[in-house]
């Protein structure tokens, strides 16, 4: 868990498992994009956008040209933003 100002970031079990199994290049790419996300979640390189269909209500950022990280945003009881990174995978894995 990462606490930043009034934003808390968590990683779901599925996300952690996929991250741990991913190639070091993918983990490094995610780490770099995550650092950008912490500074500016809507930085253009991230291509942060809302999802539809089975992931409606969630958002996605680009990790590489083909890899995506899907996350959800919620407010806790103290009105702090809580972000949960739910899934990590290739575009075809996630959107089949």
Structural domains of the chain ordered from first start: 8-95 (3.30.2310.20)
Nearest to 23 by CA among 77, 69, 89: 89
Position 90 pLDDT exceeds 70: yes
- Residue 95 sits at φ, ψ, to 5 deg, of -110, 30
DSSP secondary structure string for all residues of 35-91: HHHHH-TT-GGG--EE--GGGTTEEEEESSSSEEEEEEEEE-TTS-EEEEEEEEEEH
pTM for the model stands at: 0.90
Distance of CA 49 to the CA centre of its chain: 11
Residue 7's pLDDT band, with cuts at 50, 70 and 90, is confident
Question: Please, which pLDDT band fits residue 79 given cuts at 50, 70 and 90?
Answer: confident
């Amino acid at each position: 868990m990462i606490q930043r100002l009034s934003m808390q970031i968590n990683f779901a079990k599925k996300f952690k498992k996929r991250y741990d199994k991913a190639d070091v290049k993918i983990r490094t790419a995610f780490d770099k994009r995550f650092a950008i996300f912490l500074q500016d979640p809507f930085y253009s390189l991230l291509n942060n956008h809302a999802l539809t269909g089975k992931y409606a209500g969630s958002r996605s950022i680009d990790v590489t040209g083909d890899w995506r990280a899907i996350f959800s945003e919620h407010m806790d009881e103290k009105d702090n933003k809580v972000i949960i990174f739910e899934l990590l995978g290739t575009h075809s894995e996630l959107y089949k």
